[in-house]
Amino acid sequence: MIQAIGLTSNARKELPPAVDDVSFEVPAGRVTALLGAPGAGKTTALRLMLELQQGRGITYFRGRPLHRIAHPSREVGVLLGEVPGHPARTVRGQLRMLCAATGVPARRADDVLEVVGLVSLRDQRLSTLSRGMDRRLGLACALLSDPHTLVLDDAADGLSAREGRWLHGILRAHAAGGGTVLFATGDPKEAARTADRVVTLEEGRLVADQDVIDFARTRLRPRVAVRSPHAARLGALLTKEARTARRSVEVVREDGNRLSVYGSTCADIGETAYRHSILVHQLADEVGDMGPVPARHPASDSPEAERPARTADAEGANELSPLPPPITARPGTSPLRPLRYELRRAAGVATGYLTAVAVLVASALISVLLARAGHTPQARLLAAWPREFPLPPAALGAGLLGAIAFGDEFRHPALAADRGNVPRRLGLLAAKLLVAAATALLLALLAVGVDAELLYLVYGRELTGVPEDWLSLSVSWIGLVVGCAWAGVLAAGIFRSTTAGLAAVLAVPVLVVPLVQKVLEGPSVRTAAGFSTRLRELVLVQWPFGGERYVAAVARVIAQPVGGALMLSISALLCAYLLTTLRSRVR
C-alpha cells in the first residue's frame, strides 16, 4: 500500500508549485491510475513520492518512507521516462549490471527478458532500441528485483494497441498477486480500461479520487454505440438531421459497421433508423470506449463486482500476463555487491578498453620520440613523460578512467531511482576507488612494459636497463598513476561531471604543485627540508623482510612536489566528498 500525504513541490518563479498539497492512497492488490493532462503534475508527484525531487510531504510504502527502507529497489520497481543507461551497453548487460547492484542472481536478467519479450534483442545496444522496446526494457528493470510495488510513468507510451494490452495484463497480474500498482497516464480511456481506481490531477491539485465505475460515469464522455450493416448511410442521416435541428451531434465511424454517436440518445437514433428502414444490430449507451455501463448491484461489495462491463477488446487488455518467477531467497547485504556492480559497469562498454589502447599507443610513440631527441633521463623515458608535459599519458589515462567511473553515474543515471544505491553511498565509492586503483596499476605496468619493449626493438638494450633505484621509482610511478585515478573518481563524484574529474587531475601539477612549492620556499625561519630523511630515522626501526626499504620509498614519494600535492588534493577531495554525503543524508 502507498500513502502519499501533502505532496508539494518547491515554488517556481512567479508560478504556483507544479504539485500543491496532493494526498491519496494506493491500495495493495489493485491497479491505480494517476490521471492528468500534460503539465498536470503527474511526473512531479511521482518524483516527490520517490524522493527524487525536493519538496514537502511524505510517502509511505507499506508504512515506511523510502529513505527508511534498506533495499528500496526490492520494495519499489520504478519506470520514469526513458531507461537510463549507457547507449553502448547491451540490453542483457544493463540488466546484469542492475542485478549486481541490487544483489539478485544474474540469471534473473534472463527471466525478465523472457517475460517482456526481449530475448532476441538481448545483445542489442540501448541506443538502437525503438521507443516500444525501450518501454519493455524499462518494465524489465522495474520487475528485476521482484518488488512489491510498481510505479510507472507513461509506461504504454510508444506501444501499439496489442502491446498496450500486454502491458496492462502484466500490471493486472502483479496486482492479482497482492502487489501494489500505480501508473501515470494522460489518457482517460486507458485509465478506465486498466485501473481499479483513478486519481485525477489538474494544475497540480487533486480533483478526484474515484473507483473506476464512478470515474467512468462522471468524467468520461458518454456516447451511443451503433452497429448496422448500413452504418455509413445511418451516419449521414444522423449528421443531416442534427444540422437541420441545430443540435451538437458528432458521428464517428469506427472499424467495420460500428458508429460512435456523441450528443444524442438511443431513442433518437432508433427513431431515425426506423423512419428510414435501416436495420440496427446494436444500440447501447457507453462511456469512453468501454462497453455498456450496467447498474451497480447493491448487494455486492467486491471490487470486481463494481467494475463496469467491458467489450471483448477491453477484456483482452486485462488478461493476466505471465510474470517472472519470484525470488525465493533474499540475499543479505554483501560488501562485494558494489564491487560486482562496478566491475560490470566498467567492463560492459568499450570506453575503458579504447582509452587504455590510446594511452599505450601515445605512451609508446612519445617514449620513442624522446629517445630520438636524447637528453632524457631513463626514468622519464620509460614513463614517456617529457618535462614540458604536466603528466605522462598513463597518469592522464588513469585519471580519465577514474573520472568516467563516477561521471557516467550522473550522465547515465541507471541507479537514480534506487535510493539504496545512488552514487553517494560510501560502499559504491570504495568499490570505485578499488577498481580504479587496479585499473591504474595495470595501465602503469603495461605502459612501462610497452615502452621498454618498443625502445628495445628500435634502439637495443642501451635504453632498457633496470635502474639501481628501481624500487623507489616503481613506488613513485605507481603512486602517481593510482593517485591520479583516485583524484578523478573523487572530483567527478563531487562535481557530478567527467570533465570536472579530469580537470581536477590536471590541476594537481598545473596549480597545486606550484602553490605548494611557493608556500614551502617562501621566507620563513624553519623549512621542511630533509623531511624524508627524518621520517625514515623516526619510523625505521628494524623491519622484518627488509620492510624499511618500502617505507623509505613511500616517504620519498610523499616528499616529492607532485606526490605531496597529489596526496593533499586527494585528502581535500575525500573530505569534500564525505561532507556532501553527510549533507545529503541529513536532508
Domain with residue 245: its CATH number is 3.30.70
* Tens of pLDDT, residue by residue, the chain (587 residues): 999 999 999 887 778 889 999 999 999 999 999 999 998 999 999 999 998 888 999 999 999 998 888 788 889 999 988 888 899 999 999 999 999 888 888 899 999 999 998 999 999 999 999 888 998 999 999 999 899 999 999 888 878 888 888 899 999 999 999 999 999 999 888 898 899 999 999 999 999 999 998 887 777 778 888 999 999 999 999 999 999 988 888 888 887 789 988 888 999 999 999 999 999 999 998 765 444 433 333 333 333 333 443 333 444 444 566 777 776 545 555 668 889 999 999 999 999 999 999 999 999 999 999 998 888 888 888 999 998 888 999 999 999 999 999 998 888 887 755 544 455 578 889 999 999 999 999 999 999 999 999 998 988 887 777 777 787 788 888 989 999 999 999 999 899 899 999 999 999 888 887 776 676 665 544 444 554 455 555 544 555 545 555 555 555 555 565 666 788 788 889 898 888 776 655 44
Helix, strand, coil content of the chain in percent (nearest 5)? 55, 15, 30
Q: Is residue 520 part of a domain?
A: yes
Residue 458 grid cell: 628500435
Out of 190, 219, 248, a domain closes at: 219
Q: How many domains does the chain have?
A: 3
Q: Is 565:483 a contact under the CB 8 Å cutoff?
A: no
Amino acid at 123: D
Half-sphere exposure of 244 (CA within 13 A, CB side): 6
User: Is 234 in the same domain as 368?
Assistant: no
Strands (E), 64-122: 64-65, 76-79
Out of 219, 246, 266, a domain closes at: 219
Q: Is 263:247 a contact under the CB 8 Å cutoff?
A: yes
Q: Is residue 482 part of a domain?
A: yes
User: Is 198 in the same domain as 234?
Assistant: no
User: Is 187 in the same domain as 228?
Assistant: no
User: Is 278 in the same domain as 234?
Assistant: yes
Domain interval for residue 131:
2-219
Residue 533: the pLDDT is: 55
User: Is 355 in the same domain as 487?
Assistant: yes
Q: What is the domain-level CATH number for residue 92?
A: 3.40.50.300
Residue 585: the pLDDT is: 54
Residue 288: the pLDDT is: 55
Q: Is residue 317 part of a domain?
A: no
User: Is 228 in the same domain as 145?
Assistant: no
User: Is 340 in the same domain as 442?
Assistant: yes
User: Is 534 in the same domain as 449?
Assistant: yes
Contacts of 177 (CB under 8 A, 6+ apart): 323
User: Is 421 in the same domain as 445?
Assistant: yes
DSSP at 324: P
- Distance in angstroms (rounded) separating the CA atoms of residues 218 and 187: 15
Contacts of 536 (CB under 8 A, 6+ apart): 548, 551, 552, 555
Q: Is residue 299 part of a domain?
A: no
Q: Which residues pair with 22 in a beta bridge?
A: 7
Residue 305: the pLDDT is: 36
Q: Is 182:149 a contact under the CB 8 Å cutoff?
A: yes
Q: Is residue 513 part of a domain?
A: yes
User: Is 232 in the same domain as 360?
Assistant: no
Q: Is residue 421 part of a domain?
A: yes
Question: First-to-last CA distance in the chain?
Answer: 25
Residue 299: the pLDDT is: 35
User: Is 150 in the same domain as 232?
Assistant: no
Residue 461: the pLDDT is: 82
Q: Is residue 212 part of a domain?
A: yes
Out of 198, 219, 240, a domain closes at: 219
Q: Is residue 112 part of a domain?
A: yes
Residue 156 grid cell: 504504454
User: Is 136 in the same domain as 250?
Assistant: no
Residue 361 grid cell: 599507443
